[in-house]
Amino acid sequence: MFLKFIQRYRHALLYGFSMAAVLVLLQVVEYRFLLLRNSFEIYIATIAILFTLLGIWLASRLMRPKVKTQIETIVVEKEVHVVATPSAEVNEAERAKLGLSTRELEVLVLMADGLSNQEIAERLFVSLNTVKTHTSKLFEKLDVKRRTQAVGKAKQLNIIN
Amino acid sequence: MFLKFIQRYRHALLYGFSMAAVLVLLQVVEYRFLLLRNSFEIYIATIAILFTLLGIWLASRLMRPKVKTQIETIVVEKEVHVVATPSAEVNEAERAKLGLSTRELEVLVLMADGLSNQEIAERLFVSLNTVKTHTSKLFEKLDVKRRTQAVGKAKQLNIIN
DNA sequence: AGCTGGGTCATACTTTCGGGTGAATTTAGC
DNA sequence: GCTAAATTCACCCGAAAGTATGACCCAGCT
């Protein structure tokens, strides 16, 4: 838990600590070297440059490894699939765990096929408003905000497909 | 000559001017707001944060992907592997076949994570309108009408994981 | 009979999407 | 240098999605 947090936000944390360290360091030496020579500007400029470099470093750190992490996590997911899913069973377990009703599940499936609410409504012979109600509850139960996320999460949990 | 120099190092110059401007600005207001409240640290921290952001921006400007040609040449090699590769390689072949640009692919990936256009815009440091343009072209190239379908098709084609 | 959960529908409102169009700027390739 | 593709951004507009709230019906349970 805690370790994972550190792992995940290690760069941000490191940045924070660096910032603190630099500030402390600069304050220690400020009286003897900088302010004596009436060079407040140099002091600020130093900080500016330092933190610009830090920003550049941060950016290069944060932008790269994203793809890698995704791939790795997905590999894990796939291993799970192999070990424990004959598809239709986990399906039911997860569905029950989340408290999804049959109707909501139907909507979810059609949603995953990329149908619009209107199309889902026509397919299920209900009104558009009804579909919206279902999707709303669906999002609530799946703890997501958008249909794209709902589909993603549902697939990940093996509720559908 | 001189114009070309400006053209080429426009970002660096802009950075320099920004830095100067911020310093001046901060010095103008420092006496009334900051030092009055005995918050020298806040002053420094503000500068640090500002220039960190500037650094990040600079980095994302300067080290942006210029790899288009490389990718396309590599694609040829990787098509050889296509038969026997499950994830990351088929990726490239299909991407090239559909003519998806790097930026479009980035948008696609974030879209598959269930982010809204606004969130994607913030993540990529571009405007909402730009993201919309990308999604439009994506839908066209993937021959779909909605983002849900785009994500589904992309996953099916192994363009994204 | 009363309560509960699922399903249905509505109205009103806000936000997000997506289409269409045009345009400036960069970059790569010729 | 010129061209083509890529990237960026803007404005408008209509459609779709999503939120909030309330209401009605019905089957099953207590």
| Among candidates B48, B116, B161 on the partner chain, residue whose Cβ is nearest the Cβ of A70 | B161
Contacts of A151 in chain B (CB under 8 A): 148, 151-152
| Alpha carbon distances (Å) from A87 to A13, A75, A119, A160, B46 | 41, 18, 27, 9, 53
Considering only alpha carbons, which residue of chain B is nearest residue A73?
A: B161
pLDDT of residue B159: 86
- Identify the residue whose tokens are 């304050």: A27
Q: Is B85 left (phi over 0), alpha (psi -120 to 50) or beta?
A: beta
The most confident of the ranges A64-78, A124-138, B56-70 is A124-138
Tens of pLDDT along chain B (161 residues) come to 444 444 444 555 555 666 666 666 666 665 555 555 555 666 677 777 777 777 766 666 555 543 332 232 222 222 222 233 344 555 677 777 888 888 899 899 999 999 999 999 988 889 999 999 999 999 999 999 999 999 999 988 888 87
Neighbours of B148 (CB within 10 A): 23
Q: A152 and B112 in contact by Cβ < 8 A?
A: yes
Note the helical H segments in chain A. 2-8, 10-29, 40-63, 66-84, 88-98, 102-112, 117-124, 128-142, 147-156
A41 pLDDT more than 60: yes
Residue type at B20?
A
Candidate from A30-34, A104-108, A111-115, B122-126 with smallest mean pLDDT: A30-34
